Amino acid sequence: MTLCKLLSAGFFMLACHGAMAQAPQEVKAEHSPVEVGKRYALVIGNSGYKNAMPLPNPVNDARAVCDMLRTLQFTVDCRENLKHRGAFKEAISAFTKKVKPTDVALFYYAGHGVELEGENYLIPTLADIRSKAYVEDEAVRVNFVFDELAAAKARLSIVILDACRNNPFARIRSVSGTGLAIPNSIPSGSIIIFPTAPGKTAMDGEGQNGVFTSHLLQHIATTGISIEEMFKRVIHGVRNESMEFGIEQIPWMNLSFTGEFCFVGCGTRISAADYANVLKAKAEIEKTTQTLQGELATRETELQQFKTRMVIMQQQFETQQKSQNLSTTELENLSKQRDELVAKTLNLETQEKELSRVKRELERLQSQQTDDTKREKDMAEARARIALLEQKINQQETRKIGESELEALRQERDHLIQNNADLQKHQKINEQSQQELAVLQKRLLEYDRQRNELDDYKQKLSRLEEKLKDAAVSTVKDAAFVPPAF
């Protein structure tokens, strides 16, 4: 049994490694409420086990989570490969002592864990568990984390546990089993999340990070969504990725937190439906662009092949005139057919110019998509900066500093909000570009129809070439045949 960690007195997250998801492209800008208190986090990653199977990902996961939380204004204490139960409990106690009732506390653990008689335990790297009697002395109860956070009375507690892999002590009969148990003591005002359902095991993943943690890292910094919506996206991403391997892994969450919390910008919101539509539209644009590029390449190849055949045709005419004497009627018929071929060639050249124009338009749209991606990043950075400025303004007002410094902070915040609005105008221009792509698709359908006509024309050209080869020498008439120039 591996243990998915539980968080008490606030918010509990469980992260068994997962794939990363996508960030929203468009949000509605509005002022976000100023967050009261500070953000603290304790992150632990245990990989180097001596008496159990070593794990490749937990330390990598812990480092990635530490880096991410620092960008989200958390004061982070990062620990790796805690060897003994005492070191574990000391780190937890030191962490909770800093937390005040107005603060947000986040606890993350990646490593081995077990469930014994309904109790969940976290495993240090040098734990020597020979039977169930050793578990209490060698491992750390998850309820200890709950008790410490409850005593700190944090406004919101966040615990991220990535400990739902296979049982590292399955060989011991009294400690056999899989997954974690449902917590028997859930504090109020908390969110608890496992990477999979109680009693189940989760995928560890094949990349640098585990499946659950990968999806967590992708969504945790999404602007303008609540913590509940963020976890729903993580759950959705983990389930979809696991289904690709024939396993349905559905993270489990328990919510008793009634307040509002966003890792980035609660004031800028995008609904789940709008988020899905934005992602769908982006995927359709990319697919359409690839299709158009393929069609253009095919048309250019066919046109070049046709030009080559026309050059050969002209050479055959010249050779035929010199080496054979054709009847006047045959010459007139061949000349007429050749003139038709020349006219169609000119028409194809006109189409080639149009195809080149369409190709340039596609390149412009692709360039615009690149600019839009940069603007999306600028929007996210601006919103994060706005939230930070509002926090500074609140802190400065509390300190009763000079009005001039407060006014400077407000002006910077308002300037960023205005820039954010300008960026959203560019998003609307992107929608117009999508409409232009639809028009280009209709043109490609018309080109398909013309290509069918081109196939008929190729058949006529082949028959004409056969006539030139089989033309019989009959009556000699001094008729000069001058082919039209290309």
Segment 185-210, tens digit of pLDDT: 777 778 888 777 777 777 766 788 88
How many other CB atoms are there within 10 angstroms of residue 224's CB atom?
23
Domain membership of residue 1 (yes or no) is no
In the three-class reduction of DSSP (H, G, I as helix; E, B as strand; rest coil), residue 105 is classed as strand
User: pLDDT tens digits, residue range 354-411?
Assistant: 777 777 877 777 777 777 777 777 777 877 887 787 777 777 666 656 778 778 878 8
Domain membership of residue 483 (yes or no) is no
Residues 157, 182: one domain? Answer: yes
Task: With beta carbons less than 8 A apart as the criterion, state whether 170 and 130 touch.
Answer: no
User: pLDDT tens digits, residue range 321-340?
Assistant: 665 555 667 667 777 877 77
DSSP output for 252-303: EEEE---S---SS-TTSB--HHHHHHHHHHHHHHHHHHHHHHHHHHHHHHHH
Domain CATH number, residue 326: 1.20.1270
Domain membership of residue 380 (yes or no) is yes
The total number of structural domains that make up the chain: 2
Please give the model's pTM, rounded to 2 decimal places. Answer: 0.51
Task: With beta carbons less than 8 A apart as the criterion, state whether 261 and 102 touch.
Answer: no
Residues 264, 229: one domain? Answer: yes
Token readout for 142 is 């998850």
- pLDDT, residue 49, reads 94
Task: With beta carbons less than 8 A apart as the criterion, state whether 7 and 13 touch.
Answer: yes
Residues 204, 292: one domain? Answer: no
* CA 338 – CA 126 distance, rounded (Å): 88
Domain membership of residue 218 (yes or no) is yes
What residue numbers bound the domain in which 283 lies?
276-470
Residues 253, 292: one domain? Answer: no
Q: pLDDT confidence of 456, banded at 50, 70, 90? A: confident
Task: With beta carbons less than 8 A apart as the criterion, state whether 52 and 168 touch.
Answer: yes
Domain CATH number, residue 70: 3.40.50.1460
Residues 236, 333: one domain? Answer: no
The average pLDDT across 116-129 equals 90
Residue 86: Cβ-neighbour burial (10 angstroms; 0-12, 13-18, 19+):
exposed
* CA 282 – CA 64 distance, rounded (Å): 28
